Amino acid sequence: MKRMGYLGPKGSFSEEALHYFVQVHQDLLPLDYQPFSTIPRLLLACDRKEIDWAFVPLENSTEGQMGVTMDTLGQIQELYITREFVHPVDHCLLTPEPLPLPEIQRVYAHEQALAQCREFLDTHLAQAEQIPCFSTAEAAGKISSVREPWAAIGPRRAAQLYHLHLQEERIQDGVLNATRFVLVGPQLAEMSGDDKTSFLVTTENSPGSLYRILHELAVRRINMTRIESRPSKQKLGEYVFFIDVDGYVFSPAIQEVLEAFREKSVFAKLLGSYAKAHPDESVF
Ligand SMILES: O=C(O)C(=O)Cc1ccccc1
């Protein structure tokens, strides 16, 4: 049985998304599910072959990139994104028992959950201290073990699992709040015929360096669908770029681009080539 790691504990958004993901990707079954407390630990466990797959959040429609996932994927050599999955995330306010909002003194949640619910928190819980946790499920577990006027933000299912009161539902700023999760593993996915390729490029800080990278894509009519920057962590003002393009990595056009990068001493790291997700547009 293959081992599937996710950001836990039980009752996290990642676990909820994974539940729906495997319904669509039944070829992966049967699976032994293993929760991890942080995204770097999860990805490193996959790199060390302690698990076969890692299911991780990559970006969110309200708050943007999950920096920790991108940074860790950028650092690990032999792991690839093999599938993607877009999941709607509805944030709920959970409390140990029914409680008027002005009495709540603390709100525990994953930092992305706090960020995705900023307007609700500013409007209704301005007095409450915000405490970031490794996951929303960890936050739910924390407030369930004490009788304090504290709240957590998490999925509906966390209320049942941690015996909490569902105080408010859908408190996120963007009503259609979607998160893109990816399945990471040690081997490149096979070509499906409707693929995208993700890579990371590092370029020197000089006039036109990003332009020269994009030029190589443009002249080959390769469609870029996403470009994100992250700090290089080496020097203030230096960045690495995460780029998604249409097509499979072994297509002649993408191979030519990678060759052109090598000739120009542009460092490019392949992050994966995988079937594009086509989320239901009525939901997102
Ligand atoms: O904290 C969680 O439950 C997670 O799985 C991470 C997360 C947080 C907010 C939106 C999507 C995923």
Q: How far, in Å, CA of 63 to CA of 275, rounded?
A: 24
At 238, the pLDDT band (50, 70, 90 cuts) reads confident
The Å distance, Cα 257 to ligand 1 centre, comes to 35
Domain that holds residue 225: 195-274
Q: Are strands 165-168 and 53-60 parallel, antiparallel or unpaired?
A: unpaired
CATH number at residue 201: 3.30.70.260
Q: Indicate whether residue 177 lines ligand 1 (CB < 6 A).
A: no
47-92 pLDDT tens trace = 999 999 999 999 999 999 999 999 999 999 999 999 999 999 999 9
Same domain for 148 and 102, yes or no, is yes
Same domain for 15 and 143, yes or no, is no
Same domain for 9 and 77, yes or no, is yes
At 281, the pLDDT band (50, 70, 90 cuts) reads low
Same domain for 23 and 82, yes or no, is yes
**Residue ID of nearest Cα to ligand 1 atom 9:** 113
Q: Indicate whether residue 12 lines ligand 1 (CB < 6 A).
A: yes
The Å distance, Cα 77 to ligand 1 centre, comes to 25
Dihedral-angle region of residue 265 (phi above 0 means left; psi in -120 to 50 means alpha; beta otherwise): left
Sequential DSSP letters for 252-278:
HHHHHHHHHHHHTT-EEEEEEEEEPP-
Nearest to 94 by CA among 148, 8, 167: 167
The Å distance, Cα 136 to ligand 1 centre, comes to 6
**Residue ID of nearest Cα to ligand 1 atom 11:** 13
Dihedral-angle region of residue 175 (phi above 0 means left; psi in -120 to 50 means alpha; beta otherwise): alpha
- ipTM of the predicted structure? 0.96
Same domain for 83 and 150, yes or no, is no
Sequential DSSP letters for 145-194:
TS-SSEEEEE-HHHHHHTT-EEEES---SSSS-EEEEEEEESSPPPP-SS
Same domain for 181 and 73, yes or no, is yes
Peptide bond between residue 96 and the one before it cis (omega within 30 degrees of 0) = no
- Helix residue spans in the chain (DSSP H): 13-24, 39-47, 67-75, 111-116, 118-124, 136-144, 156-161, 209-219, 252-263
CATH number at residue 115: 3.40.190.10
Same domain for 236 and 268, yes or no, is yes
Query: How many domains are there within the chain?
Result: 3
164-208 pLDDT tens trace = 999 999 999 988 899 999 999 999 999 999 999 999 999 888 888
**Residue ID of nearest Cα to ligand 1 atom 12:** 13
The Å distance, Cα 15 to ligand 1 centre, comes to 9
